[in-house]
Amino acid sequence: MWRIVAGDDDTLVREVSRHLMDMRGKLFRPTLALLASALDETPEPRAVPLAAVGELIHLATLVHDDSVDHSVMRRGMPTVNSLFTHEIAVIFGDHLYARAVTELARLGDLEPIRIFAGASSAMTLGELRQLAAFDALSFGEDDYYRLIRAKTASLLAAVCEVGALAGAPSHRAAVSRFGERLGMAFQIADDLLDYTEDAAVTGKPSGLDLRDHKVTLPLIAALREMDSGARDRVESLFADPEPSDEAIGEVVAIVGDHGGFEYARRRGDLFAQEAEDALASVPECPARIALADAIGYVMDRRW
C-alpha cells in the first residue's frame, strides 16, 4: 500500500501514518479484493490500487469509530485518539477518506467510486442509527442485522465487487453477495469473541461491548430466555456509566448460561454457509478456493 503522508514537511501526518502502519491488521479486505480480481485468472493492474483504497476506507472507519467510542486500544496498541487527540483522530480519518477518493479519481472509472461511496454512506448511516438508539436493551435481532449489514458487511461486499471489476466482471454479483454474507458472519464472530476471549486474543479490552453498553447478538438472544432476576442484573450493568469488571463478568456468565453464545454461533454458521453458497457459480480456480478458505478464517480466527 502506498504511503499515506501528505508531505515530508508535515510531521504530525507522518507520525499518525507511522502509528497506523505499525498497528495494521491482517489486510483482510484488500486480500479479498485481489482474490476477486483473479477469479478468471486475468487480474488487471488496477486491482492493486483498488484493493488499497478499500483498506484506506476501512482504516478511516476504525479511526473514526475509536474516537466516537473513546476506545483506548486497537489490535493491542493505543488508538489514534488515545495517543494523539480525538480532534486529530477525526481529521485524520477524513484525510484517509480524501486519499481514497483521490486515488479512485486517478483511475478515471466512476463505477468503483459509486460502489465505495455506497458502502461509505451505509457505514456512516449505520453508526448514526447506533448512536441515536435511546433504549439499548430494546435493540432487537432484526435491528442488529440491519446495523452490522451497514457497518461491516457493506464494505466487505464493496471490496469484493470492486475487485471483480478489475479482472473478473462476470462474477461481480456472486462475489458481492459472498462479501456481504461473509461480513455478516465476520461481525457475529467478532461480537462473540468479545464475550469469550480475553484481550491477549482480541487485541481489545475484554467485555468492551458490555462496558460500552452495546447490545450484540449473544445478549439479544440471551435476553429472550432470562428470568426477571437475570434481566435485572443486566439492566443494572447498563444503568451504570462505569460498570465494574465483576459486573461485566457476571453478565458474561449470564449470557452464556442462557444460550446466547450457542445462538450466535449458529447464526454465524448460517451466514457463513450462505457465503459459501454464493460462490457456487464461480468456476474452480486457486482464487475461488482461497475465497472459500476465508470463510473458515472468519469463523475460527484469533486476533
185-228 tens-digit pLDDT:
999 999 999 998 864 444 444 688 999 899 999 999 999 999 99
**3 in a domain, yes or no?**
no
| Residue 120, C-alpha cell as written in the block | 461509505
- The CA distance from 80 to 130, in Å, is 22
**155 in a domain, yes or no?**
yes
In 1-114, DSSP assigns E strands to 73-74, 77-78
**142 in a domain, yes or no?**
yes
Residue 33's CATH number? 1.10.600.10
**155 near 127, Cβ under 8 Å?**
no
Range(s) of the domain holding residue 282:
11-300
**4 in a domain, yes or no?**
no
**212 in a domain, yes or no?**
yes
- The CA distance from 55 to 202, in Å, is 20
- The CA distance from 16 to 12, in Å, is 6
AA identity, residue 168? A
**262 in a domain, yes or no?**
yes
**1 in a domain, yes or no?**
no
- The CA distance from 165 to 162, in Å, is 5
AA identity, residue 66? D
In 46-102, DSSP assigns E strands to 73-74, 77-78
**6 in a domain, yes or no?**
no
Total count of domains within the chain: 1
Per residue in 119-158, pLDDT tens?
999 999 999 988 887 788 999 999 999 999 999 999 999 9
